[in-house]
Amino acid sequence: MSDTTFPSSAGRGHAAALDPLFQAFDRSDAPGLVVGVAQHGETFYRRGFGLASIEHAIANTPATRMAIGSSSKHFTSLAILLLAEDGKLDVDDDVRRHIPELPVLAGAPTLRQLMTHTGGHRCYLDLGLMSEGMALKPRGSALAAQVRQTRANFAPGEKMIYSNGGYHLLSIVIERVSGQGFEQFLTARIFGPMGMHDTVSVRSDLEIHRGMATLHVPREDGGWRRGIFPSEEMSGDGATITTVDDMLRWLAHLRAPGRVGREDTWRQMLTPATFHNGLVNHYALGLMRHDYRGVEVILHAGGVVGGNCQMITVPSQALDIILIANGVRANLVELSHRIIDIVLADAMPGRPVLGPPRRKASAARFAPMLGTRYHVPASGLLFGFAEAPGGALGLCFMNGAPQALWDKGEVLRLGLEDLAVGPLVLQAGDLALEGQPAPVALTLRESGHAEHGERLPDMPPSNAEAGAVLVGRYRAQDLEAQARVQLEGERLQLRIFGPQGSQGMALQAFSHGVFGWHTAQVDVGLNGALSVCFDAGRVAGFHLDSWRTRRMWFERIGD
């Protein structure tokens, strides 16, 4: 463990209370994390745990530079707003004003809608992972993938699906409007003025930078491999490397800005998005705002291949927290909440700052729902129920692992902070209680839109029975890919062949026309639904749906 902090007596008390949270990561044989915590401008916890490099046996320290992934996104939003201050663009510009080669699709999103993930365009990253796996794509392929699309996920402003591709488009706008490289603009207008001299935007994980931790991905045999993001054109979607000191400096400024950006700029940065249906979301411009135990928090998590980050501040208590990991198995969101719990537990004796923890829905209460699945024919959405850790009722969205639903009384809910889509809401009264039959139809609201699910069979057909008609060759124009469905006994597999690589997916029959799928690659971890389209009794093709890519069409071209 590395520690070069000299806090006050109050800070020392908090530091001693925080140490047990990180004891399991204080190892000399595994990657770890760096942690920074400050309150009222005093940094009282500034430590590194585990190894920055297993290969070279170098320990993490507070000065280790780490990749923060999507926690970078608000820097991109701020860059757009700074260009608006300069009079060079308007944040409500149609994106095609600056990138005219983009297709219109269901409507052209504005720059603001790209910043709030309400633009509706598909994401180049998910498209590439779906069709080419972890193959390293050449520069220019990200924009080319989005230009190639003939369909959007939804019309701009209708829903929210987290989109790295939207932020990649914003990076292109910044370069075209400013006349500078994206990295140079961030350094000149944000990092430099803030004195964040160890912070830089990096296009590729193949680059070598001074003092940067290696990204580690665990192998099944207990070893490790390097984490390499499958692109050499990372930018506004999540390319920042930094240190805990720089990020604590930045979090203090985020709470009380003054050095970078005008007052109106920061008002816009922190204003949550409103959908066309009037529902207000928790996502602002590259930042989330929501309630945690009765106090407002502003935050953004980040993930990279072989690492993750959690950046969070409690403005009312001037409490700033940054955690960045380089491959250790740690839930940084949960750790950040534990830090808040500990530091604010005695903030005001006799007048507790924090309210009670959020309540999870009980799996036992809704026992008849466990194991059920529902499919929405119109949109391809697939959802079901299983028990989540701790005895909670878990929602399995798009064939994913069960996510514990929050019990809000009349509704059960998963927020943007839980899944980066939605919010997803169910009426508690629509679900079966103990002793009742599970409903044959169930409505899930996604971003306020009703998705009417039909219950799939409790005893689905075998893969051999349902999958036989699906076997054959297919083409997906929007992926510039071909695909093949193969059946070997009960093993049903879809393999997609893109321009640079391929991706394999295991299929599981849930009915004669609906299949769940998941990828086998640990670095990717995609999952979703496959909906078969029949024409005169024959398979004409199928739609592939995931959390972030909807209605991808595969046309049958042969047996």
| Those residues with Cβ within 8 angstroms of residue 494's Cβ, 6 or more apart along the chain or in another chain | 483, 484, 485, 504, 505, 507, 517, 530
User: 463-558: which CATH topology?
Assistant: Lipocalin (2.40.128)
Element (H, E) at 472: strand 472-476
What are phi and psi for residue 146, nearest 5 degrees? -80, -30
| Those residues with Cβ within 8 angstroms of residue 233's Cβ, 6 or more apart along the chain or in another chain | 139, 140, 141, 142, 168, 203, 204
* Residue carrying structure tokens 């080319």: 144
Q: How far apart are CA 411 and CA 546, in angstroms?
A: 24
Instruction: Considering only CA atoms, give the Rg of the chain.
Output: 24
| Those residues with Cβ within 8 angstroms of residue 214's Cβ, 6 or more apart along the chain or in another chain | 31, 52, 53, 54, 55, 226, 227, 306, 326
Q: What is the pLDDT of residue 8?
A: 59
Mark the ranges of the chain whose per-residue pLDDT is less than 50.
none
Sheet holding 373-375, edge to edge: 403-404, 392-397, 382-388, 373-375, 449-455, 441-446, 424-427, 411-414, 406-407
Crossing angle for the helix pair 164-178 and 124-132, to the nearest 10 degrees: 130
Element (H, E) at 301: strand 295-304
pLDDT per residue as tens digits for the range 6-62: 555 556 778 999 999 999 999 999 999 999 999 999 999 999 999 999 999 999 999
Rounded-to-10 torsion of CA 215, 217, 218, 220: -150
Q: What is the pLDDT of residue 3?
A: 57
Q: How far apart are CA 360 and CA 387, in angstroms?
A: 11
Q: What is the pLDDT of residue 217?
A: 94
Element (H, E) at 240: strand 240-242
Q: What is the pLDDT of residue 189?
A: 98
Q: What is the pLDDT of residue 27?
A: 94
Q: How far apart are CA 250 and CA 190, in angstroms?
A: 10
Q: What is the pLDDT of residue 45?
A: 97
Answer whether the bond into residue 423 is a cis peptide, omega within 30°: yes
Q: How far apart are CA 522 and CA 420, in angstroms?
A: 20
